[in-house]
Chains A and B, each alone.
Chain A
Amino acid sequence: EIVMTQDPATLSVSPGERATLSCRASQSIRNTLAWYQHKPGQPPRLLIFRASTRASDIPPRFSGSGSGTEFTLTISSLQSEDFAVYFCMQYHDWPRTFGQGTKVEIK
């Protein structure tokens, strides 16, 4: 199965600053990579699919890039509501596999 690795485990950022999150696949997944935001007590929310396409109603401060094995999620200017856990998922092959998550916390 494809192993997804996220870095860093925790990212401390001040409001208004940029956050850059990394996700790496153990083999090429082309662009079949999604990013999700997960807050406690809420269902995960799809942010990005096809590595760089924003899902419906996702603000433009969220952007995704990459292909093959290296992917990045960038939050250009962190808002208070953006502090959460972010995880990636590959949907290139079965079983679908997930990264372990990056917690974005207030610095």
Chain B
Amino acid sequence: QVQLVQSGSELKKPGASVTVSCKAAGYSFTNHAINWVRQAPGQRLFWMGSINTDSGNPTYAQGFTGRFVISLDTSVSTAYLQINRLQAEDTAVYFCVRSRPLWGFVFDIWGQGTVVTVSS
């Protein structure tokens, strides 16, 4: 079964770091880019960036450079989103999503989401 399984919820203090993982199963990991999407409370979804799982090259949306790092480990078919120097505004659900090249790179398979709460 094709799926993306994300790591569990996190509660962090401001200034700390968090890493969310996204493990792929049921397909060839390096054939599909992985994207990260954020949904803050009451807000619409926002594309943060993506990573080419073949080259390992990440791309970041405006506003998601500096504190955000997207990486991967192809040996375990897993992508990672690291957020440094957490702020209260980073409280959100974070989704990893696969792109499907043959369907025009539409986002087709989503992880279940990881809730990150930043609170002192």
Contact = CB atoms under 8 A, between A and B. Distances in A.
10 contacts: A42-B112, A43-B109, A43-B113, A46-B109, A50-B106, A91-B106, A95-B61, A96-B107, A98-B45, A100-B44
Interface of B: 4, 35, 44-47, 59, 61-62, 95, 103-113
B114 to A, nearest CB: 11
A95 B47 contact: yes
A65 interface: no
Interface size class of A (residues with CB under 8 A): 20 to 34
A64 interface: no
Nearest to B59: A94
Contacts of B106: 32, 34, 46, 49-50, 89, 91
Nearest to B39: A98
